[in-house]
Structure 1
Amino acid sequence: MAATIGWYGPLIDLRKASSHIGDYVQLLVFIHKSTPIQYKISRNGGEVVRLDILVGDETRTYFPVTIWQQQMASKVVAGNVCLLQNVKITKYGDSLEARTLHCSSLQCLIHSEDFLAPKGVIELMGECRVGITARDKLKKVVGWLQQVRLARCGSEINYYEHQRQVKVNWKVREETQSKNCLSLSELSDLNKYYKATFNAYVGEIFLPITWINLRETNAERMFISTRLHALADDGLVDDLVTSGCHLCGTPVNTGLGYENGASMQQNRLPLYCQRSSDRNHDVGTIYRPFLLYVWDDSKHAPILVTNKAAELLFGNIQAEKVESCYKVHMKKQLHHKKGTECNIGIEKKPNLYMIWLILLKMLLQRGKNSPLKFKVTVDVNKDWESGRLEMESVSIPALVRL
């Protein structure tokens, strides 16, 4: 089926993407796998969806693409060969990727099952309603896939990506068992309450912003990796740090409101703290709960991270110290801009805000970090985006001596 909108840029090879930063381009690629990152706000029916896909062609095996449009995301199937139209090449730090915009579209040219019959693929290529340039590119991509035999792997990945969630188990929680999982696929198959350990790479920190009415055009505010590479993002600490219970990690105010003052009914701090021996909350400055998306070669998974676990993830730097140093840092910056002398912080202390910021950037270096060892509680009564996996600790895996 032909595309309904025109091309805003050239059809390029993935290896030439670095020469088109900031430009619209067309990509004819094979989809290796997809990683959906989504959060639903049930109170107003809103939904923010981002789909990270890994694509490749005969010139570059792996290249990341971010899809923001839900309609396009529903058409993505690992193992297919697709034409991505009017996507923009962007760069964040050292990371290069393509991202979709309102004018982007996706057209599937070859389905994964078509690769099981080579003659069928040749016939389908002849039937594709694309131009001469796209047809030549399609032949190259299909030839590359048949040579390296990636198409069949894509079908297997597709199985994992579209596996249905385990149904809620309403049985009484049994005695906690420990499990050392070799992969995220093995972890996802668990059907009881476990304390599980596994190794995985960090992909993204997703912060569900529900305390304001966040417009769709500002949805990227929820994704911390994007904000870390912005030239100026003074609101990062304000979003990640708030008031709440040090023990259970629940914010004092977690509800959805509106910036114009007309707020809806809000969830507040529970009456009792489930992680306190006397059931009393220990209220102070905490890290707001967020989802840490991790992955390995088999699957991806979101992990709920609350205050104590966040401290471990951020090098044992407490939220109140980050906030305190951030305020001092901003006051010094303000005095520097005005050209006036600043007498704040006579004692020379480390700027924990800047250290924390560097740790965040190091943690979210896409594709450059080694895997970390996570310990989580697995609660099969919860959905994946609602804390099915909750982080307890994180460490660097021990080296195996030969």
Structure 2
Amino acid sequence: MAEAIELKNITKQYPGHGKHVVKDLNLDISRGEIVMLIGPSGCGKTTTLKMMNRLIEPTSGSIFVNGADVTTTDPTELRRSIGYVIQQVGLFPHLRVGENVSAVLRLLKWPKNRITQRVDEMLDLVGLDPSLYRDRFPKELSGGQKQRVGVARALAADPLILLMDEPFGAVDPITRSHLQAELLRLQREIQKTIVCVTHDIDEAVLLGDKIAVFGTSARIEQYAAPAELLSQPANEFVENFIGGSNSIRVLSLLPVTPDQLRPGRTVDAGSNTGQHGVLDEDAIALDNGRPAGWVFGSRGDREITTTETIPLATRPTYADALDLIMKTGEPGAIFTHADGAYAGILELGQVHAAIATTLEPAPMMDAAS
């Protein structure tokens, strides 16, 4: 896969300061990937991000964007070709939403009718009805809505690269979760190269195709896919930084697909009997092919307990299944197709097996090989 961004021997040192903010950094980011930069405060991750579009100029080294060395080009032109989203959003308070989204397009002198069309496309893309939000001012928006407008503005000129600096750090946890899901949905549609700074390892694991863990002066301690990072930390620094609960984080990386589901034992909701006569085991009661709940034959009560189900259309993970199992105390999580029909179950034992398999250490290489 071709590299979208290449940092070669990048160093940043401010005059009068003996310590390097970034020292001799090399990093290759492939096209179409989401790469998360994470590390302790002051490690140089935000400085690194800002050097990619030359908001901060490197002291030395080379930056290549789509194969071209951008350290000698006009930084203003470079920034107009790269989308940029920050935690504080940075909307112009005196401009309406549509005017904020079109800011870069007006600088690029797009025709007025094309700008109008593009603004509406971008607002629709981030889940904001143009007819409702186009003419509002930023002060009339919630934090999550402002962040969506910020993303729409960054994407308006159709940049190949999107840089994001703690984009969801200023919103509440529920809104943050919704925005993270929205970003993943957008990426499936637009396939941009996205570089995102975060302080949250769970966010890095959820969003990233790769994660770069920075140490002092932007030293890369490990650069790997999330599953590898969690199962095989490169050193003690990485292990301490990512902390515990790796099994839960790994589960959030594992999608549940229809072929992984087990058929389970089912009964007709009206009869409470299965294929082999009287129910004496736990089973899922179906009403016209749709799950009505569990029937616990082992308890002998024969009553259907209402329960939650997980639609496959939501792209669920093993973490979602475990969450439902732990909340309900049931033997498995019930999944449904888009039409609500019963799809199957994921049992608790399958979740345990997934944790054990994914976190199993890689086999040691034979010294002679």
Calculate the TM-score normalised by the size of structure 2.
0.26
Q: Report the structure number with the largest CA radius of gyration.
A: 2
Calculate the TM-score normalised by the size of structure 1.
0.24
Q: Which has the higher helix share?
A: 2
With CA pairs under 8 Å and 6+ residues apart, which has the higher RCO, 1 or 2?
Answer: 2
